[in-house]
Structure 1
């Protein structure tokens, strides 16, 4: 039996900008609770969370690491996430496994680009939040000003729950038992009153007691409204620590153990049955006595341990004797071995309760976002989809050695299974395999893994930009397909109309045939023919989007009408309609965020303008840095990384995320169409 229950579990993800000190903070918490030796990093060796040699060489985490420790009776699962923009998908993937997201801020650097981006991306995810200001022992800090910067950026719900003293050498509690000592920028009494005022606003009865009794509310009285305030993001506690010296670590542990939500106190996970507008919420309870339900939030393909599925239990109990189904599968797999993770170490356990984060190995059916369950009363549903950044940075790849094509395909599938922001596309028109990620560094890491783990070397080159085609006016198309070969013939006739839809809506197919002019069993064949053209494009070989196709008439033959006849007729009719609908080519526009020294701003703005970019705003940050935001066509960013480093002397960094598609200019469209026709001729 487990040595803890669901009420004792705390699940927390450490997120934040690279260099904020998330990994060193995790190590400090592990050391303070005896989970690892309380020695220096040099004596202990590589960090538990950064065991990969590439992480050690880089000095940054490149994947999420799960570790755990016990404080009092609490079992704390801590997930240390990478902070580099290119690895954002790996950080977002773990959020469904936790109740609390802890945003770690470097006290010297303040609110950096990824810090602000991550806080914004937490909106709508139902997670409780806390902010941990790390490295408070650094020289020349103004932590009061930083606190105000945090509140200006993220709202008045951000309030200190403890305060630094002695220039960051110690931290004083201002919630459980505030004293009268002087802190670096605020009194404990004032900070305590602010926290209590914020918490009691959500409990009318407690507020009435508070107003009558003044400052006499005990922490126990505040616990439930405190949890309610966390759930509603009505309160975001700020904790101050130094992972290097240990200042604030005991106070942070007390906040985690006594105030952070357990699985029953956090917002319930958003499980859904069905898709789209028809999806219905499914109630899942952290009750160990009910059917087991778990969510796979991370998959690893280990050369020695096989496929490792890491999951969070949301309901029920899982043991090594459990038989679990993966999603809608009819055949279960036997768990056999159940593991808890401590970095790369797997520790075998006898069972898991709601809230536990565990793993199974050598189960090929397990995949990212899979729902594991032990009863088909619970199948046909899924956790609400995580919104990931769209991977736009691409490389066309080919194996360096002939004969490695199959090995490359299998390796790419495994990497794609692990990383939600890594995509592999094969373009039949150019016979080009394109890998896409969130940036050059993201793809560099994956190519290194291809060589190191899968022993596949690849050659790379810039890929085609993922342009799209669309139409700008309504039009109609008609085609009669009639073929007689001596035996049974083929016949199908289709009338359809097309019209543009708002940008980003994709494709809609409408069946408006009346009177049985086309039998209903042939309508799917018509849609199939239309979708074939959607994928292939009409004028330049790029997929079509933002278009509605309505089939409204046609003819059939009682003997000669077949599926292939209506597929062909639909293709021809659709192409004819598109050619009459003033087709246009769309290009991807990305939102770009550049961080650099302030003196480089003029050169950066001029360079972006030369790339058809538009600056939407800029903001001066601490340490003489400026953040520039704007939009630029993806096609104009080839070679931008080296150009940015040249302008900023290697100091500049940037990140991009997909914004929208918009039409290219007439000259560019002519070039793309002519290039496509040239390819067809050759």
Structure 2
């Protein structure tokens, strides 16, 4: 009432005896401005409150034509322009796929709301900027678990299109190439940070596990499946422990698959901090043709993130050029498996500068072994260290929790780099923390902030860590 001066005057005259028709316009204004948020208590199980809720919709709520239209944009980035969509059944079709459900019997269901135009069985629609249309073989009306076939969908209808693999979450379906680059303004979903390593119960279930994980990822935009090639590990990330527990229960109930879970492994690395040289003479005689190869090499550390470099400085044919790749193969084998702690190595330059060969007994396998052993000898002299991944962390919490969060990050071998105050009495704390320390941070942050905090993390760099700290 206080939003409308005329209605306020009427209210002061009539008291509480206001007609619902008088409340409609100010009620709509209050809803638009977020001044008023209706709360209705109902039970879908017993039906309690449903008639009253429908009566509220009918008498008080703005009708769909009065509602705030969805914000469609054309183009990408800063060049995107706002597009006005009208609920006109005779206009071009524009529908938004807000959900994907993969049914074991009906296949992939793209659940869409039609905002403009008319969709009929047999229609052809484009998904996003795809050049090839999809055919609407069936159109389903959803009512709880019941799917009813319909022939026509009009603006305002929520329909499902079955067996269409191209439909994905947030896709725009249309029937003209004029709308190829239409999209809804993105909803800022929380990034999935909490992860669990997923392992199939048996090797025979590996393919089934992979298929099921991609099914739940397609259905839930807040899930992310990662495959860590270096660790040969599949990681499922979600919004927290409760979220992933619900997903794992869904996998168990719907797909009859109980997967094994653990915290994701940490991708540690080895490197060196000093220059060193190594030498190996590989000589093996077994009665027939033997094996002979001798290698001298030097190693030196490279700047962080450079990777691996191999070069040959051999002169005078001490090692024939055809054996140089064999030496590199031996070195790379150690780089991949680790020299001291079993972790892959990085940021090292290897230079082969001398050696010997035998006209009869020299073979590639001999120089592979010689290169490997010479490299191992050099690494032992080059002050090797273990490196751990460090992540950039951004924690958003109520302002009252800032002190607790900064102290907690510091206790995790972290470093706080700054804070920023944002609206709604909240603060952003930025810093860097070793990945190992922050893997289970969801539960700690929940305790510190009373469930009102969130955080994101991105890989930053590798930093030296003691062997005791990773045990």
Shorter-chain TM-score: which interval?
A: 0.5 to 0.7
Question: In structure 2, the residue corresponding to 1:588 is in which secondary structure?
Answer: strand
d(CA) in 1 for partners of 2:440 and 2:230? Answer: 25
Q: Residue 427 of structure 1: which of 223, 228, 252 is its match?
A: 228
Contact map agreement 1:287 1:315 (CA 8 A) in 2: yes
Question: In structure 1, the residue corresponding to 2:261 is in which secondary structure?
Answer: strand
Look up the match of 2:151: 350
Q: Deviations over 1:447-504 (max 9, x none)?
A: 344444445553322114699xxxxxxx9x9xxx999xx9xxxxxxxxxxxxxxxxxx
Q: Residue 301 of structure 1: which of 102, 111, 129 is its match?
A: 102
Contact map agreement 1:592 1:631 (CA 8 A) in 2: no
Q: Residue 586 of structure 1: which of 391, 396, 400 is its match?
A: 391
d(CA) in 1 for partners of 2:50 and 2:11? Answer: 33
Contact map agreement 1:303 1:453 (CA 8 A) in 2: no
Contact map agreement 2:393 2:458 (CA 8 A) in 1: yes
RMSD between aligned alpha carbons? 5.0
d(CA) in 2 for partners of 1:316 and 1:392? Answer: 39
Look up the match of 2:55: 254
1:596-615 matches, within 5 Å, as none
Question: In structure 1, the residue corresponding to 2:217 is in which secondary structure?
Answer: helix
2:184 maps to 1:380: no
User: How many correspondences in the alignment?
Assistant: 344
**TM-score normalised by the chain length of structure 1:** 0.42
Contact map agreement 2:231 2:265 (CA 8 A) in 1: no
d(CA) in 1 for partners of 2:98 and 2:262? Answer: 32
d(CA) in 2 for partners of 1:246 and 1:418? Answer: 28
How far has the Cα of 1:276 moved from its partner? 1.6
d(CA) in 2 for partners of 1:451 and 1:429? Answer: 28
Identify unmatched segments of 5+ residues in structure 1: 1-194, 468-474, 487-535, 541-582, 594-602, 617-628, 677-682
Q: Residue 89 of structure 2: which of 288, 291, 300 is its match?
A: 288
The 1:391/1:466 distance shift into structure 2, 3 A limit, reads: farther
Q: Residue 36 of structure 2: which of 230, 236, 241 is its match?
A: 236
Contact map agreement 1:296 1:309 (CA 8 A) in 2: yes
Look up the match of 2:352: none
1:184-333 matches, within 5 Å, as 195=1, 197-198=2-3, 200=4, 210=10, 218-233=19-34, 235-239=35-39, 241=41, 243=43, 250-333=51-134
The 1:274/1:607 distance shift into structure 2, 3 A limit, reads: closer
Q: Deviations over 1:484-534 (max 9, x none)?
A: xx9xxxxxxxxxxxxxxxxxxxxxxxxxxxxxxxxxxxxxxxxxxxxxxxx
The 1:673/1:539 distance shift into structure 2, 3 A limit, reads: farther
The 1:295/1:538 distance shift into structure 2, 3 A limit, reads: farther
d(CA) in 2 for partners of 1:434 and 1:643? Answer: 21
Look up the match of 1:657: 454
d(CA) in 2 for partners of 1:657 and 1:212? Answer: 46
User: Which has the larger Rg?
Assistant: 2
Look up the match of 1:669: 463
d(CA) in 2 for partners of 1:396 and 1:249? Answer: 43
Contact map agreement 2:123 2:135 (CA 8 A) in 1: yes
How far has the Cα of 1:238 moved from its partner? 4.0
How far has the Cα of 1:263 moved from its partner? 2.6
Question: In structure 2, the residue corresponding to 1:294 is in which secondary structure?
Answer: strand
How far has the Cα of 1:246 moved from its partner? 8.2
Question: In structure 2, the residue corresponding to 1:410 is in which secondary structure?
Answer: helix
Look up the match of 1:407: 208
The 1:406/1:592 distance shift into structure 2, 3 A limit, reads: farther
Contact map agreement 1:311 1:358 (CA 8 A) in 2: yes
d(CA) in 2 for partners of 1:261 and 1:210? Answer: 22
How far has the Cα of 1:325 moved from its partner? 1.5
1:389-400 matches, within 5 Å, as 389-400=190-201
The 1:466/1:346 distance shift into structure 2, 3 A limit, reads: farther
How far has the Cα of 1:412 moved from its partner? 2.0
Identify unmatched segments of 5+ residues in structure 2: 269-303, 313-320, 322-343, 349-387, 399-403, 420-427
Structure with the bigger percentage of strand = 2
How far has the Cα of 1:376 moved from its partner? 1.5
1:533-682 matches, within 5 Å, as 585-591=390-396, 635-636=436-437, 654=451, 657-659=454-456, 669-671=463-465
Look up the match of 2:328: none
The 1:444/1:238 distance shift into structure 2, 3 A limit, reads: closer
Look up the match of 2:172: 371
